[in-house]
Amino acid sequence: MAALSSVRQALHGNAAWCNQGGRLVVRLFSSIFLKECNLIGDADLQVWLDTTSQSGQLLVIPYVKSVNDMQLGFRMELSQQAQSGTSRISQRGQVAVKAADPTPLAQVTINANTGHCKVELVLQRDGRAADTYQFNCTTPRP
């Protein structure tokens, strides 16, 4: 875990990471956070987080895209930490992913100007072991 902390500090929060069978996969991101990992077995899956800030609100939508049709289970936990405390929002469900079509998993709107925000996304296919993706969703300060 010390190595992960060092990677996070070196990238200053400008990356997403995936713990995949003990192997750390990191990809830098810009306005749309895009990271590719082979998810489970031979599935070629892209996972990213789209954020839109407007009128003091931040819309957070995680997406997946696959080369194959598949059923995925997901759990999304968004946490927002501010001086007044920590707020957590969790959503879980099942989604049918159609080949080559970006598929939104959930949608959450939060206050855009409050502290540090992160999203943890856990994906599972056919009851097999899950992969975890983490994204920084903090709104850049002007």
pLDDT, residue 142, reads 57
pLDDT, residue 45, reads 84
pLDDT, residue 127, reads 76
Residues 35 and 18 sit within 8 Å (Cβ to Cβ): yes
- Give pLDDT < 50 ranges for the chain: 1-17, 19-43
* Closest alpha carbon to 40 in 15, 75, 72: 72
pLDDT, residue 114, reads 80
pLDDT, residue 32, reads 38
Domain extents in the chain: 2-136
Residues 95 and 105 sit within 8 Å (Cβ to Cβ): yes
pLDDT, residue 141, reads 59
d(CA 120, CA 53): 19
Residues 121 and 75 sit within 8 Å (Cβ to Cβ): yes
pTM over 0.75: no
Q: Which CATH class is domain 2-136?
A: mainly beta
